[in-house]
Structure 1
Amino acid sequence: MKKLLLSAVMLFGIAISANAQDISKNALGLRLGDNDGFGGEISYQRGLSGNNRLELDLGFRNSKDVDAFKLAGLYQWVWNIEGGFNWYAGVGGGIGSWSYDRRIGNDRYKDSGTILFVAGDLGIEYNFDEAPIQLSLDIRPELYFNSDDYREDNFGPDIALGIRYRFN
């Protein structure tokens, strides 16, 4: 039984290493979605190994009533599909700050706060051979803590399209 288990683990390791793709050392661009008004985020990816990377995203919101920022960090595993396509999954979290100042008639409503969140990430990406461009589509469910006035349900599904410039 031990030999069978060891053989299965070794075969699984060989299969993963055979499908591993060297990912870009660095990628910088935009992640465009809509999660609580953070329509766009500046996105940076740093390759850590052949199939692992760190992604940092910084989102700003500046509107008539609400000002906010959000910083997310995720550790991602990347698997090659074929022909420039990869899929990836990751976990992480982040921090943010928000404030609003609303006037309704003669009444003024003001509040502010800080949010903490944990997040997962699942997506697919395409790396062009002809140009150092990466396109991605992912979903990042976020679970918020200490956000009573920011979100009533403490959950935000963040779906976004990313475009990044890859470089070493």
Structure 2
Amino acid sequence: MKKLFTILGCLALTVATMSVKAQNYKTGLGLGLDFGDGTTLVGPSLRTHFNRNTALQAEVLFGGNTTVLQAFLQYNAPIKGARGLDWYIGGGPKVQIYDRKRFFSNENYTAFYLVPVVGLDYKFRGAPLALAFDWRPSIYVGDNPFLGSEAGRFGLALRFTF
């Protein structure tokens, strides 16, 4: 928990002390990180805006014996007085494919989760980069006794914007 507060504090301090201004972007493609309770996952992350207040984020993440496909529809809005910094809220499905080693069987296992998301997205002015941080608890939908919901999941993404 101490490590989490250190990460959050560093992120908040970084955003608060930046002298660069920000601007909106249409699409961002880069590296996504999903961490917290359980396995840390890494992979490509895409975020595209349909209009000023609607975006879709999709990720394919890998880690341990797991592959994750997830997509979040998000409502986003600017934070007054912080040019380039938007907040967003939304959610969507997550499909997690576990390798057979996790369950000591001869078959892979697929699990379905519902994931609410709330976070911040910052677009650097003068550079084609955006940084996003969010909280994304995973709510398990199923009856496997080895799986459950995970409240302590977070996302971090660095994307090239165009």
Fold shared by both chains (TM-score > 0.5): yes
- TM-superposed CA distance for 1:23, in Å, is 4.0
Return the letter of the residue paired with 1:78: N
- After superposition, the C-alpha distances for 1:22-57 in whole angstroms (9 at most, x for unaligned) are 842211011223253143131101111121111101
1:14 alignment counterpart: none
How far does residue 79 in structure 1 lie from its aligned partner after superposition? 0.7
The yes-or-no answer on 1:46 pairing with 2:44 is: no
Aligned to 1:32: 33
- What does residue range 60-71 of structure 1 map to in structure 2 within 5 Å? 60-61=62-63, 63=64, 67-71=65-69
Match in the other structure for 2:127: 131
List gaps (5 residues or longer) in structure 2.
Answer: 1-22
Q: C-alpha separation between the residues in 1 aligned to 2:26 and 2:74?
A: 13
Distance 1:23 1:53 in 2: 12
Report if the CA contact (8 A) 1:59-1:69 is conserved. yes
Give matches, 1:55-134, under 5 Å. Answer: 55-61=57-63, 63=64, 67-81=65-79, 82-101=82-101, 109-110=104-105, 112-134=108-130
Any idea what SS the aligned residue of 1:118 has?
strand
**Corresponding residue pairs, total:** 137
Closer/same/farther in 2, CA of residues 132 and 90 from structure 1, 3 Å limit? same
- Residues 100/149 of structure 1: CA separation in 2 closer, same or farther (3 Å cut): farther
Structure 1 SS opposite 2:25: coil
Using a 3 Å threshold, how does the CA distance of structure 1 residues 51 and 163 change in structure 2: closer, same or farther? same
Contact 1:113 1:147 in 2 (8 A): no
2:66 is matched by which residue type in structure 1?
A: A
> Which AA in structure 2 matches 1:142?
S
Distance change >3 Å, CA 23–CA 76, structure 1 → 2: farther
Structure 1 residue 162, shift from structure 2 partner:
1.2
Q: Distance in 1 between matches of 2:116 and 2:95?
A: 14
1:156 to partner: Cα distance = 4.4
Distance in 1, matches of 2:40 and 2:72, equals 17
Is 1:162 matched with 2:157?
A: yes
C-alpha separation in 1, matches of 2:67 and 2:117: 20
Query: Which has the larger strand fraction?
Result: 1
Q: Report if aligned partners of 1:32, 1:160 keep a CA contact under 8 Å in 2.
A: yes
Aligned pair in 2 of structure 1 residues 150, 54: CA closer, same or farther (>3 Å)?
farther
